[in-house]
Amino acid sequence: MKILNILLSAFRALQRNKMRSFLTMLGIIIGVGAVIAMLAIGQGAEYSVKEQIAALGTNVLMVYPGAQQQAGVRTAAGSAVTLTEDDALAISRECPAVKYLSPGSGAGGQVIAGNLNWSTGIQGVGSDYLEIRLWPVEYGDFFTDQDVKAAAKVCVLGRTVADNLFPETSAVEQTVRIRNVPFKVVGVLTKKGQNANGQDQDDLILAPYSTVIRRLTHWPNLRSILISANSLNEMATAQKQVTEVLRMRHKIQPYDADDFTVRNQTDLAATATATTEILTILLASIASVSLLVGGIGIMNIMLVSVTERTREIGIRMSIGARSRDILTQFLIEALVLSLLGGITGIILGTVGSSVISKIAKWPTIITPFSVFLSFGFSIAIGIFFGFYPARKAAMLNPIDALRYE
C-alpha cells in the first residue's frame, strides 16, 4: 500500500471520530506547547542573564577599597581610604595580564546647559573606560589620555543626559556646567538602555577621573578601579597579579586580610548561567511529563480503536492485507495524531510564550533546537506509543478478527 494512500485513509479514520481524535491530540498539544513555552522562558532567562553580564564588559575585574578595620570594628566596604591613583598606575605597570585599566571616581550633581538642567551622576573614569565596557561613542570622540593627565574639563554625555540638555541641537562642542564648573562636551555615547534592575544606563556623564577628583569631589582617593584582562583565560592570573601588587603596596602582612576587594564578573556570569540552565532543564522536564501523559493517551485511544475495528482488520486481512500493512496503517494513524498534535503544540507554545513575555515582561526565546526537539519528541511518542496497539492489530488471526462481534 502506498504511503500517500495510507496517509489518506489514516486521516479519514481519524476524521470519523473527530472529538476523540481532537481530545487525544490535545494531550500532545498541551505537552508540546508546554515544552516549547518552558524552554522559551528558560532560554529567555538565560539570554537576559548573559546579556546583562555582557553589558558589564567582558573579562572585567573590579577593585573596590575594602572595609576599614580598626581594633576589630569593621566599617562599610569602601569607607577606607585605600585605593589611590598610584595604585592604579602600579597595576597597569606591573600586571602583564591586565589589558585595560580605568580608575574610577564619582560625584552627583546638577548639570546645567543653557536654560535647561538635569540631575545625574558624574563618573570619573580613565581613557580606556569604554574599551572595558565595550561601549562605543555615537557622536564626537571620547577624551584622551592627554585629557586625563591634564585633568581637562571635558566630558562625554550619556544619551539620556544629551537628550534632556540638548533636545534640539547636537551636544558635541557645547558646554555644560557641572556644579558650576564648565565642561566641554566632546562626545555622546550610544544608547545602552535599561539594566537588569531597570536603571537607565544612559543617564550619566563621563569625565576624566583626575578632573572629577580635582574639580568636583576634592577627595583624592579612587572609588574603584575597573580592569579588563587580556582574555577570559587570563582572568584568574590578572586577579592574582592585581591582588599581589595591591597587598605589596598596602604593606599587608601575609596572614592579614586584604583591605580591598577584587570582584570577578565571570564567576557571577557562570553562576547565573548555570542557575538559569538548571531552571530551563527543570521547566522542560516538568513539561515533558505532560508530553508523556499525552503519549499514553494516544496509546489508550489506539488500543480502543484496534478493538473497535477488529472486524475491519479481519475484512482487510481477508482481502489480502499483510500483517505489515495493518501495522503500518495503525502506526501511521498514531503518528498522524501525534504529529498534528505536535505541530499545533509548537504553534500554541510559540503564541503562548510571546503572550507570557508580553504580560510578565519576561524575555522568551524560541530556538530551532526547541522546535526540533518537540517535533522529534512527538514523532518518537507517536511511534513508541502507537507501536504496541498497531502490533496487536497486525498479529490478529484473520479468522478470529472476521468473526469478532
Partner 1 sequence: MIHEITTTPAQKDGLLIQIDHLSKVYQLGEVDVHALRGVSVNVSPGEFVAIMGASGSGKSTFMNILGCLDKPTKGGYFLEGIDVSKLTRDELAAIRNLKIGFVFQGFNLLSRTSALENVELPLFYCSISNKLRKSKAIAAIERVGLGDRVHHYPNQLSGGQQQRVAIARALVNDPSIILADEPTGNLDSRTSVEVMGIFQELNSNGITVILVTHEPDIAQFAKRHIVFRDGKIKSDKINPNPKIASEILSELPMIDEEEEAA
Do the bridges between strand 181-189 and strand 260-264 make them parallel or antiparallel, or are there none, so unpaired?
A: unpaired
Report CA 123 to chain centroid distance, whole Å: 28
315 belongs to the binding site for partner 1 (CB under 8 A): yes
Contacting residue, 74, 93, 324, 358, with partner 1 by CB under 8 A? 324
Q: Pick the piece of the chain touching partner 1 (CB under 8 A) from 39-47, 59-67, 117-125, 308-316.
A: 308-316
C-alpha span between 120 and 98 (Å, rounded): 31
Distances in whole angstroms, Cα of residue 270 to Cα of each of 50, 97, 158, 233, 404: 9, 21, 29, 14, 64
- Name residue 224's beta-bridge partners: 104
| Residue type (1 letter), 71 | A
| Residue 269 grid cell | 556570569
Q: Where are the alpha helices (DSSP H) in 119-234?
A: 129-133, 145-150, 159-165, 209-211
307 belongs to the binding site for partner 1 (CB under 8 A): no
Contacting residue, 323, 347, 375, 383, with partner 1 by CB under 8 A? 323
CB of 316 to partner 1, least distance (A): 7
16 belongs to the binding site for partner 1 (CB under 8 A): yes
Distances in whole angstroms, Cα of residue 384 to Cα of each of 177, 295, 296, 316, 361: 73, 8, 10, 24, 38
Q: Pick the piece of the chain touching partner 1 (CB under 8 A) from 107-115, 119-127, 180-188, 316-324.
A: 316-324
Applying CB under 8 A, the site for partner 1 has a residue count of 21
Q: Pick the piece of the chain touching partner 1 (CB under 8 A) from 1-9, 151-159, 281-289, 372-380.
A: 1-9
Contacting residue, 7, 181, 347, 402, with partner 1 by CB under 8 A? 402
404 belongs to the binding site for partner 1 (CB under 8 A): no
Contacting residue, 49, 162, 299, 317, with partner 1 by CB under 8 A? 317
CB of 289 to partner 1, least distance (A): 37
231 belongs to the binding site for partner 1 (CB under 8 A): no
399 belongs to the binding site for partner 1 (CB under 8 A): yes
CB of 1 to partner 1, least distance (A): 5
Contacting residue, 318, 355, 369, 372, with partner 1 by CB under 8 A? 318
Q: What are phi and psi of 105, to 5 degrees?
A: -140, 170
Q: What is the DSSP string of 351-369?
A: HHHHHHHHHS-------HH
167 belongs to the binding site for partner 1 (CB under 8 A): no
- Nearest residue to 59 (alpha-carbon basis) of 238, 317, 308: 238
C-alpha span between 66 and 223 (Å, rounded): 10
Q: Which is nearer to partner 1, 175 or 307 (CB)?
A: 307
CB of 314 to partner 1, least distance (A): 8
Distances in whole angstroms, Cα of residue 33 to Cα of each of 54, 137, 175, 221, 383: 31, 43, 57, 56, 19
1 belongs to the binding site for partner 1 (CB under 8 A): yes
CB of 4 to partner 1, least distance (A): 9
398 belongs to the binding site for partner 1 (CB under 8 A): yes
170 belongs to the binding site for partner 1 (CB under 8 A): no
CB of 10 to partner 1, least distance (A): 13
- Nearest residue to 334 (alpha-carbon basis) of 311, 300, 373: 300
Binding site for partner 1 (CB under 8 A): 1-2, 5, 16, 311-312, 314-325, 398-399, 402
